[in-house]
């Protein structure tokens, strides 16, 4: 499997496609807008003018798109993947979408003799650039093993979670934990600042104990500088929390803290923070706390 069609050259997809080129794959990239193809071309990849052109000779098709409607748009219809890909091709959807949408995609693709893996990722833009993503895979075990070399070009932690949709289920849980953790860190930042504690020192102390987390470590500078240049946009995390809450309702799982985190994220998006990094949850805590001014 050396020829890959990569559909979606956005913040995550572009560096992932570049890493596949570096690993020796022939990559045909497609994106709605033409201004995203530069890094792929510089890495030796090729571009396609249409989905049909991208997938017609591919042995693997990878989609990395914002949500289920975009995945369905490129998968279905006369110009889509299912109508134009080779029989037996492996379609790997690395987007983050609802588990049920992944199950339906796999069922529809099977009618075209196309195999599907749902393989959402965690690790953000930095993980995509460095090839250190965590990849959670749902689908047939044999297809997973066949795709393993592709995944190894993209990530470090690669796990088969079970049947179709379970990769997305694990990703939803990841986003649930991440949102709650991010909100807790944001509240701690304001709590510390309003108490007059040196914030950098305090965050170092927290990082060294049981309260430490990857969120606290990786977002420390963001919290200190209030630099919300996005590595993962609030709007996308808001979308993911919709997946979490809808799925939890469908399966009867109570997520009280997750529901609160989802509402706070929705509030941030409504205020216009959807294009900022999801660590901008801190802005909401500051607003609730009088802009985080230290106590006199």
Catalytic residues: 171
- Pick from 235, 228, 243: nearest CA to 176: 243
Structure-block tokens of residue 247: 């799925």
Q: What are phi and psi of 163, to 5 degrees?
A: -75, 180
Q: What are phi and psi of 47, to 5 degrees?
A: -115, 155
Q: How far is CA 83 from CA 80, 94, 101, in A?
A: 6, 20, 19
SS3 call for 116: strand
Cβ(154)–Cβ(16) below 8 Å: yes
Pairing of strands 115-118, 121-122: unpaired
Structure-block tokens of residue 56: 């017609």
DSSP 171-229: HHHHHHHHHHHHHHHHHHHHHHHHTT--HHHHHHHHHTSTT--HHHHHTHHHHHHT---
CA gap 126, 111 in Å, rounded? 37
CA gap 131, 121 in Å, rounded? 11
SS3 call for 122: strand
CA gap 66, 166 in Å, rounded? 19
């Amino acid at each position: 499997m050396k020829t890959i069609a990569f559909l979606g050259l956005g913040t995550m997809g572009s560096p992932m496609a570049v890493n596949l080129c570096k690993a020796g794959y022939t990559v045909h990239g497609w994106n709605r807008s033409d201004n995203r193809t530069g890094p792929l071309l510089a890495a030796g990849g090729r571009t396609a003018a249409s989905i049909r052109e991208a997938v017609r000779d591919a042995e693997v098709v990878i989609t990395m798109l914002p949500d289920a409607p975009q995945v369905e748009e490129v998968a279905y219809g006369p110009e889509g993947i299912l109508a134009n890909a080779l029989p037996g091709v492996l379609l790997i959807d690395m987007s983050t979408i609802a588990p049920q949408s992944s199950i339906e995609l796999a069922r529809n693709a099977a009618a075209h003799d196309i195999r599907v893996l749902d393989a959402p990722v965690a690790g953000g833009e930095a993980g995509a650039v460095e090839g250190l993503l965590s990849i959670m895979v749902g689908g047939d075990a044999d297809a997973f093993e066949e795709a393993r070399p592709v995944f190894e070009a993209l990530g470090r932690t690669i796990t088969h979670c079970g049947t179709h949709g379970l990769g997305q289920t694990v990703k939803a849980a990841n986003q649930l934990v991440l949102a709650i953790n991010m909100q807790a860190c944001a509240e701690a930042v304001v709590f510390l600042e309003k108490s007059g504690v040196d914030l950098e020192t305090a965050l170092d102390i927290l990082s060294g104990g049981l309260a430490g987390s990857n969120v606290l470590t990786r977002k420390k500078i963001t919290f200190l500088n209030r630099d919300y240049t996005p590595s993962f946009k609030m709007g996308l995390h808001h979308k993911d929390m919709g997946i979490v809450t809808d799925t939890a309702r469908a399966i009867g799982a109570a997520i009280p803290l997750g529901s609160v985190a989802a509402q706070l994220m929705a509030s941030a998006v409504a205020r216009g923070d959807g294009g900022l990094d999801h660590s901008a949850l801190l802005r909401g805590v500051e607003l609730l706390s009088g802009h985080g001014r230290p106590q006199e």
